Amino acid sequence: MSSFWRPAAGGVSVAVKVQPKSRRPGVQGRAPAVEGERLRIGVTEAAEDGRANRAACATLARALELPASAVAVVAGMTSREKTLRIAGDPAAIGPRLEAL
């Protein structure tokens, strides 16, 4: 198991670094951080009124072929470094995350 995600009750917690106003939107691989590795997500939206948060959730959901409602921000609402929670079976979601 990689360090950027871990099983949680009813799903998976994913550590991400969001780049608002990115020229290259989408999942952009992994990034090192002080607390460990994070998944890097670029979004074209600005970090205003939660738009970048919603876009990051939608981008990750699209990459994992899940409904947008399955992904939510649980920590770091105003930070670039966030924790997203993906609802579902960790055994099914884990391999998809590793493939990103």
Instruction: Tell me 79's DSSP state.
Output: S
Give the integer Cα–Cα distance in Å for 47 and 29.
21
Residue 3 near residue 10, CB atoms below 8 Å: no
Q: Are strands 38-42 and 11-19 parallel, antiparallel or unpaired?
A: parallel
Q: Percent of the chain beyond pLDDT 90?
A: 87
Question: 5-99, which class in CATH?
Answer: alpha beta
- 71-95 pLDDT, tens digit per residue, is 999 999 999 999 999 999 999 999 9
pLDDT of residue 57: 97
Domain ranges of the chain: 5-99
Is pTM beyond 0.85? Reply is: yes
Give the integer Cα–Cα distance in Å for 38 and 4.
5
Residue 6 near residue 87, CB atoms below 8 Å: no
